[in-house]
Every structure is written in C-alpha cells, then in structure tokens.
Structure 1
Amino acid sequence: MISFTMDQLNGWIGHFLWPFMRLTGLILVAPVFSHGAVPNLVKIGLAFLLTVAIAPAIGNIPHIDINSWEALLVAAQQTAIGLAMGFVMQIIFTAVEIGGEFIGLQMGLSFAQIFDPANGANTAVLSQFLSIVTTMLFLVFDGHLLMLSALVHSFDVLPIGLEVLDRNGWGVVIQWGAAIFSYGLLLSLPLICALLVMNLAMGILNRAAPQLTVFSIGFPVTLISGMLLLTSVLPHSGAYFEALFQQGFETLDHLISGLAGH
C-alpha cells in the first residue's frame, strides 16, 4: 500500500506550482505567447506542459506550506518575475508599432485603423503590418526558444525562495521602457527623412507654380512614395531587428541579475 504524508504532498505540489507561476506570468505578457487570438485555456495548458518539462531540472526548491501566507508571497513573487521578463520582450514589439505610427503619420496613413486582437484596440494599419513582420522574424530567429531558455536559466540565478527581490532589477525594466520611442524613431527615421524632403519639395513647388493643386496631388504622391520607400527599406532591416532582439535578450539577462542583486 502506497502512503504519503501532507508534508510530502506539499513538497510535490510546490515543486511544480512555483515554476508554473513564473511560466504563467511570462506567457501572459511575452510576445507570440500572449497574443489575443490565443485562448486563455491554451496559454494555461502550454504553461502546464512547459512546467512538467522544466520542473525536474530545477533544484533547491524550498519546502513551503501551500496553505500559508509565505506561499501566497512566493506565488506573487514568481508571477511578478515572469511578468517582468515577458514585459521586457514585449517592449520590442511596442517600439516597432510606434515606429509604424511615425511612418504612417508621415505618409498620411494615420487615419487608416484596423482592430488589433493583441491589444484589444484599433491600431494603424502600418503598425499592424510591421508587428506581423516582427513576429515572423522573432520566430525565424528562434526568439521564442531563447526566451524560454532565459526563463529556465533564471531559476539558477534567481532561485525560488522568500528572498526579497532587489529594486535595481525593476530599474532595468524602467530604463528599458524608456527606449520605446528611441528604437521606434530609429526604425522609422529613413522613411521620415525621405518623406520630409518630399514634403519640402512639394512646398517649394506650390510656391513656384501656384496653379498646381499641390493639396490634391500631394497626398497620393506621398502615399505612393512612402510605399515604394518602405518596399525598398524593409528587406534591408533584418540586421536592425536582429540587433533589437539581441538588445532585448541582454536586457533580460540584466533584469534577472538585477533582481538577484548581482
């Protein structure tokens, strides 16, 4: 007859529960996994399957009574770590969407809106297009696998326990969040400069030949030129996206080290 005590049962549950909380926090916020088109049940099921695969490789999990206040504190702590890690990677996609907003505003496409299921709100068409391109490149570069690998590595640097997280780690998230506008502007800068020169040329043309209805021809010329420029610039932007992903993973490493107090 097989018998076990409540302490053993608490240990078995905790060995899977605490990694599950960190994984759930990551999947709820991280790009690709957190997409609005993915049902919540699928996200929870994916977190459970990943926990079953990862938990046996995690050592030194402290014994914490799941019916205590300490268990609630550890669960909140692990969820916060996963949310912070997912948020760091999600900032990359937000920066790309902001770059699309800048380009669309300069091209005259700022009024073209489409419903984005990921954000649950209307988004500029160009931002949605660049977001899809970024998602495809993220998968091609195995970004989703590297992100899960970083989470597994976080259990070594930041083990499960009752230790208070260092506030310097949250400072890393704040500093990385401030980079949204700069990276978005760098992405859109070539097209913004070219379209700005074109608008200046249209203004000079309006002064030189007032009989031309610049306001009538300006919009289609700017739109067509912007699409041609985007078609020529986007195929050469792979290195920029790769560097952006690399910067995101480096920030992820700094986050984990900062929360651990290293």
Structure 2
Amino acid sequence: MIEVTTAQIYGWIAAFLWPMFRLMALISVAPVFSESSIPRRLKILLAAALAVIISPTIGKIPTAPVYSLEGLLVVLNEVGIGLSMGFAMRLVFAAVQMAGEVIGLQMGLSFASFYDRSSGGQTMVLSRFLNVVATLLFLALDGHLMMLAALVDSFQGVPIAGVPLSGHGWGALARAGSIVFASGTLLALPMIAALLTMNLAMGILNRASPQLSIFAVGFPVTLLGGMLVLSLVMPHMGAYMQHLIEAGLQTAATVLDQLAP
C-alpha cells in the first residue's frame, strides 16, 4: 500500500507553488504578457504550465507550509523577484512612451489622445504608436523569450528561500528609473531639435512680416514638418530601441544579482 506523508504533500505543493508565484508576478507586470487584452485565465494557465516545466530543474526547495510565517516570507520573496524583473523591462517601454508624449507635444498633437487600457488613462496617439513599434521590436528580438530564460536562471542565482532579500537590489531598481527620463529624452531629441528649429524660423518670419498670421499657418506647418521629420527619423529609432531593450535585460540581471541575500 502506498503511503503519503504530510511532508511529501508539502514538498509536492511547494515544488509547484513557489515557482508559480515568481512567474505570476513577472507575467502581471512584464511587457507583452501583462497586456489587458490577454485574459487573466490564460495568464494563470501560462504561469502554471511554466511552473510545471521549471520545477524539476530547481534544486532544493523549502517545504514550509504555505500558511506558516516562513511560507509567507517565501511568497513575498518570490513575488518581489518577479515584480522587480518585470518592472525593469517595463521601464524601457515607459521611456518609449515618454518620448512619444514629448514628440506629440512638440508637434501639436497633444489633443490627439484616447483611452489606453494597458496604462489605464489617456494616451497620445503618437506615444501609443511608438509603444507598438517597441513591442513589435521586442518580439522580433525574442525579448520575451530572453526574459523568461532570465527568470529560469534566477532560480539558481536567487534560490527559493525564506531569507529576506538584500536591499541593494531595490536600490538598483530605483536607480534604473532614471532610464525613463534620460533615454526617453534622447530618443525624442532629434525631433525636439528639428521642431524647435522650425518654431524659431516661424518666429523670425513673424517678426519680419507681421501681416502674416503665424497662428493660422503655424499649426499645419508644424504638423506637416513634424510628420516629415518623423518619417526620416523612424528608420534610425529601431537601433536605439534595440539598445534600450538590451539595457533593460541587463538591468533586470543586475537587480537579480543584488537581490541575492
């Protein structure tokens, strides 16, 4: 007769449950996976399927009951690790969206906005367009697969344990937030320079010919000029977006290294 002890049951549950917490946290905030258009049941099913595949490759797993204090600490650690990795990659797309906001504001497209379900608020059309381009590039570069591979490797670098994570990792994640402002501004800098030059030229023209109504022609000229410059700059944005995605993956790896207790 086969006998199953309580310790064995706890071990089987822990081997599946602890990795699933880390996977669910990543999927809930990571680019592509966290899109609101993906049903929640499908996200849970994906996390469960990945947990079943990954669990045999993980080494020693604590068998603490889920309802114990140690089990609660393990859950918090796993959720924190998954959220930190997903948030590190989310910063890259936040930088791209900021660049779209700045470019749209300079072009006079600040009124062209709509409700974006992924961000939960009003988003400029140009910002959404650049976000879609970044998402397609992310998929073309297999960024989603590299992100999942980094998560699988994280079980070796930051093993499942009931030990508090190091605070240096959260500091590294906070410092990585500067990528939103620095990289977003650099991405929009060519458009800012071109549109600023255009506005200066129209200002000089208005001073030279006061009878010309600059307010009547300024908006269409700025809009058409901005679209022309954007069509010239777009082929070169892909290389910089690729650099941002690679930097985001490197940031996630750095945060994981510093989270290790």
Structure 2: tracts of 5 or more residues without a match:
none
Pair 1:46 & 2:36 matched: no
Output the amino acid matched with 1:219.
F
Query: Hey, what does 1:123 align to over in structure 2?
Result: 123
Pair 1:6 & 2:6 matched: yes
Pair 1:214 & 2:214 matched: yes
Return the offset for 1:215.
Answer: 0.7
Structure 2 counterparts to residues 91-130 of structure 1, below 5 A: 91-130=91-130
Query: Hey, what does 2:168 align to over in structure 1?
Result: 168
Return the offset for 1:71.
Answer: 0.8
- Post-superposition CA distance 1:104-124 (Å, at most 9, x none): 010000111111111121101
Aligned length: 261
> 1 CA distance for matches of 2:164 and 2:140?
37
Contact 1:10–1:64 (CA<8 Å) still a contact in 2? yes
Return the offset for 1:185.
Answer: 0.3
Sequence identity percentage: 53
Contact 1:19–1:55 (CA<8 Å) still a contact in 2? yes
- Post-superposition CA distance 1:34-70 (Å, at most 9, x none): 0111121111111111111111111111221223121
Query: Hey, what does 1:146 align to over in structure 2?
Result: 146
> 2 CA distance for matches of 1:3 and 1:33?
41
- Post-superposition CA distance 1:99-144 (Å, at most 9, x none): 0000001000011111111112110111000000000000000000
Return the offset for 1:2.
Answer: 3.1
Contact 1:36–1:120 (CA<8 Å) still a contact in 2? no
When normalised by structure 2's length, the TM-score is 0.98
Contact 2:92–2:179 (CA<8 Å) still a contact in 1? no
Output the amino acid matched with 1:89.
M
Give the 4+ runs in structure 1 shifted more than 4 A: none
Query: Hey, what does 1:252 align to over in structure 2?
Result: 252
> 2 CA distance for matches of 1:69 and 1:135?
40
Structure 1: tracts of 5 or more residues without a match:
none
> 1 CA distance for matches of 2:76 and 2:257?
19
Comparing 16-25 with 51-60, greater Cα deviation is found at 51-60
Pair 1:197 & 2:197 matched: yes
> 2 CA distance for matches of 1:187 and 1:212?
34
> 1 CA distance for matches of 2:124 and 2:227?
15
